[in-house]
Amino acid sequence: MTEPLSAIDAALLPPGIRSRFVDDINGLRMHVLEAGFETRDRPCILLLHGFPELAYSWRKVMPQPAAAGYHVLAPDQRGYGRTTGWDADYDGDLAPFRLLNLVRDALGLVAAFGYRHVEAVVGHDFGSSVAAWCALVRPDVFRAVALMSAPFAGPPPLPFGTADVPAAPKPEDPVHRDLAALPRPRKHYQWYYSTREANGDMQRAPQGVHDFLRGYYHHKSADWTGNRPFPLNSWTASELAKLPTYYVMRLGQTMAETVAEEMPSPAQIAANRWLPDLELAFYAGEYDRTGFQGGLQWYRCGTSGAFTAEHETYSGRSIDVPSCFISGRQDWGIYQRSGTIEAMQTTACSDMRGVHLIDHAGHWVQQEQPDEVSRLLLEFFTQAAGR
């Protein structure tokens, strides 16, 4: 029998943050970082990480809302870190990793802590998608939402007006064939992440997990000078090929090989203040133990299309609670799907309070610029509570 995982050593966390476990959360034993737990009856804030991150990714943000009087919860989500009760067998059931079940995980955690609602749910990267669906599906519980680095375009539309004129079959998306046919053949990272090989490529990276993550985080950060994003015109191979190789990869390369080409120098690593090697070592240790497949299952749910019909249940619905968007100005994630950030502001969110692009931050905005992220979040929480 496997011994239960231990809490994170307090020495690895900022003062005022504790690591603990909560059992029976939708079948999970959920690992949670918690701040502002010293007194009861505080309003609650829920923070949801993305890939390849952990609850630990919020360590620099959590103390500020806790000091402002909030109870702050940041779980390792399903498939990640020290949360257990999930099975990431590639040939296993994908359904537990679908977005609406991840919303159920968040709802269960909030309820376990005795809350009937939270003041806000905040999501970064893929956690932004979970946060968006939390606010869309249960606005009574998730009373405001801050989306970070990944804009939300809304639920997919239902076929409409087809009773007498049946809908034409959906054409095959040619973009993947067209990417492979480019003079420099390419592939989209989300479909690569959905392959059987992707987990092993990263967990058994030739450079080791630590250096793989160092290269990956560097490549998508403001430290990599090639991150100068601009809007794309369409979802076509010629436009997608303008994205950096961490999003639209060379056809024959793994992600480990992709980021190895942009590995920072020893001097750059030594100068890094937002993710020094000691903190990176925590991520590396967790992913070396768990692998990446738990997070990759989320991508497979999306690329498979298996749960589109479930999402269509909410066709036409918008997020109507107060919302905001925060990202690094050097983050290509804002534009990786053309039109998404515009749709978020015009149709997907009916009460958008602000879009904030933080300079000198790439994709890991809450780690690269935690003070500015904390300031913007606290300003938003206060504004949203006033409604």
pLDDT at 236 over 70: yes
pLDDT at residue number 245: 98
Provide the annotated active-site residues: 125, 363
Distance between CA atoms of 155 and 136, rounded to whole angstroms?
9
Distance between CA atoms of 124 and 136, rounded to whole angstroms?
16
Q: Which string of DSSP letters, residue by residue, matches 49-93?
A: --TT--GGGGTTTTHHHHHTT-EEEEEPPTTSTT-BS----TTS-
pLDDT at 2 over 70: no
pLDDT at residue number 166: 80
pLDDT at 207 over 90: yes
pLDDT at residue number 171: 77
Mean pLDDT, rounded, of the chain: 96
Mean pLDDT of all residues in 231-253: 97
Top-confidence residue, 300 or 1: 300
pLDDT confidence bin for 210, thresholds 50/70/90: very high
pLDDT at residue number 119: 98
| Segments making up each domain of the chain, as ranges | 12-156+308-386, 175-295
Distance between CA atoms of 141 and 385, rounded to whole angstroms?
13
- As beta bridge partners, residue 242 has none
pLDDT confidence bin for 387, thresholds 50/70/90: low
Q: What percent of the chain has pLDDT over 90?
A: 95
pLDDT tens-digit series, residues 45-89: 999 999 999 999 999 999 999 999 999 999 999 999 999 999 999
pLDDT at 13 over 70: yes
Mean pLDDT of all residues in 244-248: 98
Mean pLDDT of all residues in 13-30: 98
Does the domain formed by 12-156+308-386 have CATH 2.40.50.140? no
Task: Using alpha carbons only, give the angle 349, 232, 102 rounded to the nearest 5 degrees.
Answer: 45
Residues 6+ away with beta carbon under 8 Å from 274 = 221, 364, 367, 368, 369, 370
How far is residue 220 from each of residues 98, 166, 251, measured CA to CA in Å?
Answer: 25, 44, 19
Task: Please give the distance of CA 99 from its chain centroid, rounded to a whole number.
Answer: 12
pLDDT at 1 over 90: no
Phi–psi pair at 19, nearest 5 degrees: -105, 135
pLDDT at residue number 386: 86
pLDDT at residue number 291: 98
pLDDT tens-digit series, residues 154-205: 999 998 888 888 877 777 899 999 999 999 999 999 999 999 999 999 999 9
Distance between CA atoms of 366 and 353, rounded to whole angstroms?
19
pLDDT at residue number 165: 86
